[in-house]
Amino acid sequence: MHRGGFIRIFLIIAAISLLLDWYVFNGLKTFVKGWKSVRLRRIVLWGYLFVSIGVTVLFVAGTGSFSTAKGMTPYHEWMLSLLITLFITKIIFSLVLLIGDIGRLFYGVVDYAINRNVKKRGEPFFPARRKFISEIAILVAAVPFTGFLYGMFKGKYDYKLYKSTLYFDDLPDAFDGFTITQISDIHSGSFDNKSAVQRGIDMAKAQKSDLFVFTGDLVNNAAWEIEPYMDMFSQLKAPYGQFSILGNHDYGDYIHWDSDAEKNANLEKLKEHHHTLGYRLLLDENVVIEKGGQKISLIGVQNWGRGFVQKGDLDKAMRDVDKNAFKILLSHDPTHWEEKVRYYPEKIQLTLSGHTHGAQFGVEAAGLRWSPVKYVYLDWAGWMEQYGRQLYVNRGFGFLAFSGRVGIWPEITVLTLKKRA
């Protein structure tokens, strides 16, 4: 979906949000009814409208600049995040009120049917909304509200280390215990706290893995977005090298360019930035990694994704690769593995991907693992295996659109390759 489609969706959300304000406002009136301080009642009611409508207006006003070459800046993301936070909070609040109002309607209909012949003139058909319903609505709505605020102010930089040991029958003996650090989806154009980003980089550096790989989406749209962070991400080094690929956002498809030449120049500049960072950018090609006289093949493709840009050419990337070699593929979008890699004639033992971000929202606790993105991807985070071919999907280092993470935290992956006994 291109920028016009996203803008339309967000404007629809903004319109619905304004309609919900009337219902929520009336619920709050019930909540503050009976407070002794008239001034405090007014502060709560009119303060709510000022904040809610103000955020909506600021967001809508900012959509005009979204079509420039800057794309979605941190300002746009913050406004969108606040809009989404308030929107979901209002939805939850309204649902609780609606349940109470349905109860009022049912009571009114039954009461009228039974007592219609004895009703006093002027007596209301519906009983008054009970205050405790509004109190319950506020308590329930406070859960997503505080959760989203946490995700925006802390969760998006709450880096987590995910360590996994992967077993293979055909791993060369010299690579038994070989370690790989993977990060993905940096989305540098979204960052708004350099010291927090440095904490994540320090965590990755501390792993001292044999190999470092980055699996795409260095920027949101434009090459200049990574420039303030070049000295930071260039700190990521490994004895057997640093390798990277492109993701769908790296091609600059989601913003307006004055010409194809300008867009192509942006992509070429981004490729140069990979080199400056010390990353070997694999563009449908492969390299051999040697250890102790034995070899594995590392293969990298351009983006190939269902519903996204499909530039990746796996056949080209596999040229001159020994069919008996142990192979690791870097491919940004896990749908490439779903639709191509797991069925590929030559066995590719391990594919490393990213792209999904785990939707930046979900639950991974106490054995429960859910995110709305699960309805789009066969596997949206972590490890899976089919047909003897393994896939690992990184949850992403950065964030996009929603300036936060709730339940699905930013990931630094450390994989240990082991030969199955």
pLDDT band at residue 244 using 50, 70 and 90 as cut-offs: very high
The identity of residue 103, as a single letter, is G
Q: Is the pLDDT of residue 117 over 60?
A: no
Q: pLDDT by residue (tens digit) across 9-46?
A: 777 887 888 889 999 998 899 889 889 899 999 999 99
Q: Which two tokens stand for residue 215?
A: 């699996």
Which CATH number fits the domain that encloses residue 397? 3.60.21.10
> Do residue 120 and residue 191 come from a single domain?
no
User: Cα(195)–Cα(108) distance, rounded to whole angstroms?
Assistant: 59
> Do residue 104 and residue 207 come from a single domain?
no
Of 88, 120, 153, the last residue of a domain is: 153
Degrees (nearest 5) of the Cα angle 262, 264, 268?
115
> Do residue 140 and residue 225 come from a single domain?
no
- CB half-sphere exposure, 110, CA atoms < 13 A: 7
Q: Is the pLDDT of residue 239 over 80?
A: yes
Q: Is the pLDDT of residue 247 over 90?
A: yes
Q: Which two tokens stand for residue 245?
A: 């690929």
| pTM confidence score | 0.89
> Do residue 354 and residue 284 come from a single domain?
yes
Of 344, 342, 341, 333, residue with least CA distance to 310:
333
Q: pLDDT by residue (tens digit) across 306-364?
A: 999 999 999 999 999 999 999 999 999 999 999 999 999 999 999 999 999 999 999 99
Q: pLDDT by residue (tens digit) across 194-203?
A: 999 999 999 9
Q: How far lies 199's CA from each of 192, 233, 355, in Å?
A: 14, 11, 22
Q: Which residue range is the domain that position 89 belongs to?
A: 3-153
Is there a contact between 219 and 271 (Cβ–Cβ < 8 Å)? no
> Do residue 356 and residue 396 come from a single domain?
yes
Of 153, 174, 196, the last residue of a domain is: 153
Is there a contact between 266 and 252 (Cβ–Cβ < 8 Å)? yes
Beta bridge mates, 242: 212
Phi then psi for 232, rounded to 5 degrees? -80, -55
> Do residue 89 and residue 229 come from a single domain?
no
pLDDT band at residue 1 using 50, 70 and 90 as cut-offs: very low
